């Protein structure tokens, strides 16, 4: 989905002195820094991907919802030091209101659930595909926007909700031709970290902060993580305890460390047994280092990764049972995931799985001279009413039309010529077989 907006091409107006644009009247044709245009070919790929998101949402019986990209800043002010809240695309509008271009979707979902209040019956299964924004100093040249598919379940406290979400993710990968040898999904629970902090009598209020720090494992060295953890006031033995547990990759080892009967272990065991029943067990693996970087997760968390380790996380999510109370409402148990539009396309390119994105049109209708433009239009109109996509072409030489027909993969070329039209006929050329014949204009379909 990357459009080649690299060159700083500029558009010169006919009248260089045009009023809008820069001093010398030229307009920069590139979109704002960190954003993309979607010219037709890129848009066909994006539409194809979003159609896959929609089809999986339909299979899972989720309902589509939507929200403004613009939200109150208050929805995203959190104190846990997450990267996403330190890069808010925020500003003050002309009414003096603090607003943001949303960096994520979940808070908007929570807002709507609260707003709908008593009028919705639980469980709710909602999905949306929406653009999200961040404002980064351009030092890193990264994108400032991307599109995310979000699937969320409200009102199901047990891990069968997470099992449903994982099924949606696996269904999506399978639809794209990705297998469990290409991609895995690391699964853990924040209750693992909670249990460790309890073992070291660490106060509850440090939990979220520790999660955000630990999420940087893999992006920062172990020493840096330890330093950050110590700076929150943790004892060095607590830090060692955390680091050790986070390196665990087997549930039985985890049970040895945390003891049996710990909720985290029970949840994960149940989830892995559900995975067997769904038939996606070979897609998931326990990995205690998965915590995800969002402050509000409270339970199971997961992220999909490419097994070659070349790319960033493909998608991720988890349980967030306490988010609504941070907005002053009664809590409703919830879990969900976000699936971005960028990494998945890089993966498809890597695996040679990008679909053929060429155009396809049913018919080209072409009047062979000017006074036949009227009849050509009536033919185009009747074909379109029958559901045929018609490209009505005029003011072109026949040679161009044949080239154009190939370029847009037209199935038929319908030529409206004088000699045929006088007899109420048109000439039809089937472009795949080259066969050509005359048809009564009224019998075209």
290 in Cβ contact with 188 (< 8 Å): yes
Residue 88 or 264 having the CB closest to ligand 691:
88
Question: What is the nearest approach in angstroms of ligand 691 to the Cβ of residue 306?
Answer: 13
Residue 101 or 441 having the CB closest to ligand 691:
101
154 in Cβ contact with 126 (< 8 Å): yes
338 in Cβ contact with 107 (< 8 Å): no
Residue 16 or 77 having the CB closest to ligand 691:
77
Question: What is the nearest approach in angstroms of ligand 691 to the Cβ of residue 343?
Answer: 6
Residues 380-399 contacting ligand 691, CB under 6 A:
none
CB neighbourhood size of 376 (10 A): 22
Residue 134 or 190 having the CB closest to ligand 691:
134
Question: What is the nearest approach in angstroms of ligand 691 to the Cβ of residue 301?
Answer: 17
Rg (CA), the chain: 28
Question: What is the nearest approach in angstroms of ligand 691 to the Cβ of residue 145?
Answer: 5
Q: How far is CA 330 from CA 115, 225, 326, in A?
A: 12, 35, 9
Question: What is the nearest approach in angstroms of ligand 691 to the Cβ of residue 147?
Answer: 9
Binding piece for ligand 691, criterion CB under 6 A, among 210-218, 299-307, 329-337, 340-348: 340-348
Q: How far is CA 364 from CA 127, 279, 341, in A?
A: 38, 47, 34
Residues 130-189 contacting ligand 691, CB under 6 A:
132-134, 143, 145-146
Q: Which of 80, 342, 354, 428 binds ligand 691 (CB under 6 A)?
A: 342
Residues 77-136 contacting ligand 691, CB under 6 A:
103, 132-134
Exposure letters 134-149 (e unless 16+ CB within 10 A, then b): bbbeeeeeebbbbbbb
Residue 343 or 416 having the CB closest to ligand 691:
343
Question: What is the nearest approach in angstroms of ligand 691 to the Cβ of residue 116?
Answer: 26
133 in Cβ contact with 105 (< 8 Å): no
Q: Could you say whether residue 36 binds ligand 691 (CB under 6 A)?
A: no
Residue 134 or 427 having the CB closest to ligand 691:
134
Residue 266 or 342 having the CB closest to ligand 691:
342
Question: What is the nearest approach in angstroms of ligand 691 to the Cβ of residue 36?
Answer: 9
Pairing of strands 361-367, 410-416: parallel
Judged by CB under 6 A, how many residues of this single chain contact ligand 691? 10
CA angle, 150 then 115 then 119, to 5°:
100
Residue 80 or 120 having the CB closest to ligand 691:
80
118 contacts: CB under 8 Å, gap ≥ 6: none
Question: What is the nearest approach in angstroms of ligand 691 to the Cβ of residue 90?
Answer: 13
**Cα(49)–Cα(44) distance, rounded to whole angstroms?**
9
Binding piece for ligand 691, criterion CB under 6 A, among 9-17, 45-53, 168-176, 335-343: 335-343
Question: What is the nearest approach in angstroms of ligand 691 to the Cβ of residue 28?
Answer: 21
Residue 316 or 367 having the CB closest to ligand 691:
316
Tokens of 180: 């469990």
**Cα(8)–Cα(25) distance, rounded to whole angstroms?**
16
**Cα(400)–Cα(68) distance, rounded to whole angstroms?**
45
Residue 82 or 363 having the CB closest to ligand 691:
82
255 in Cβ contact with 265 (< 8 Å): yes
104 in Cβ contact with 84 (< 8 Å): yes
**Cα(266)–Cα(253) distance, rounded to whole angstroms?**
14
Question: What is the nearest approach in angstroms of ligand 691 to the Cβ of residue 254?
Answer: 31
Q: Which residues bind ligand 691 (CB under 6 A)?
A: 103, 132-134, 143, 145-146, 340, 342-343
């Amino acid at each position: 989905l990357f459009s080649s907006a690299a060159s700083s091409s500029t558009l010169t107006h006919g009248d260089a002195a045009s009023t809008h644009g820069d001093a010398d009247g030229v307009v920069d044709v590139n979109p704002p820094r960190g954003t993309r245009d979607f010219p037709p070919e890129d848009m066909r790929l994006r539409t194809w991907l979003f159609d896959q998101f929609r089809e999986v949402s339909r299979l899972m019986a989720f309902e589509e919802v939507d929200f403004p990209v613009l939200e109150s800043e208050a929805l995203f002010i959190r104190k846990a030091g997450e990267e996403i809240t330190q890069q808010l695309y925020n500003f003050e509008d002309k009414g003096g209101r603090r607003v943001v271009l949303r960096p994520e979707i979940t808070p908007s979902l929570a807002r709507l659930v609260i707003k709908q209040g008593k009028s919705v019956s639980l469980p709710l299964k909602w999905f949306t595909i929406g653009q999200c924004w961040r404002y980064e100093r351009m030092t890193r040249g990264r994108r400032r926007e991307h599109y995310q598919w979000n699937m969320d379940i409200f009102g199901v406290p047990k891990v069968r909700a997470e099992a449903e979400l994982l099924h949606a993710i696996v269904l999506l990968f399978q639809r794209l031709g990705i297998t469990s040898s290409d991609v895995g999904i690391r699964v853990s629970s924040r209750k693992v970290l909670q249990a460790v902090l309890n073992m070291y009598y660490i106060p509850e209020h440090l939990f979220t902060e520790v999660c955000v720090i630990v999420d940087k494992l893999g992006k920062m060295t172990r020493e840096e993580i330890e330093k950050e953890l110590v700076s929150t006031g943790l004892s060095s033995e607590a830090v060692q305890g955390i680091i050790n547990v986070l390196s665990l990759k087997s549930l039985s080892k985890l049970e040895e460390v945390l003891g049996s009967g710990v909720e985290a272990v029970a949840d994960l065991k149940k989830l892995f047994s559900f995975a067997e029943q769904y038939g996606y067990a070979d897609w998931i693996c326990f990995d205690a280092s998965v915590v995800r970087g969002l402050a509000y997760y409270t339970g199971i968390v997961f992220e999909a990764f490419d097994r070659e380790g070349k790319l960033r996380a493909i998608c991720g999510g988890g349980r967030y049972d306490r988010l609504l109370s941070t907005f002053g409402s009664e809590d409703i148990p919830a879990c969900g995931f976000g699936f971005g539009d960028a990494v998945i396309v890089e993966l498809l390119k890597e695996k040679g799985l990008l679909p053929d994105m060429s155009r396809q049109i049913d018919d080209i209708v072409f009047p062979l001279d000017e006074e036949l433009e009227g009849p050509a239009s009536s033919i185009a109109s009747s074909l379109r009413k029958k559901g045929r996509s018609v490209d009505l072409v005029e003011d072109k030489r026949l040679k161009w039309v044949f080239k154009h027909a190939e370029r847009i993969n037209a199935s038929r070329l319908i030529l409206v010529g004088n000699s045929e039209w006088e007899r109420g006929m048109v000439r039809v050329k089937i472009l795949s077989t080259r066969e050509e014949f005359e048809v009564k204009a009224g019998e075209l379909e």
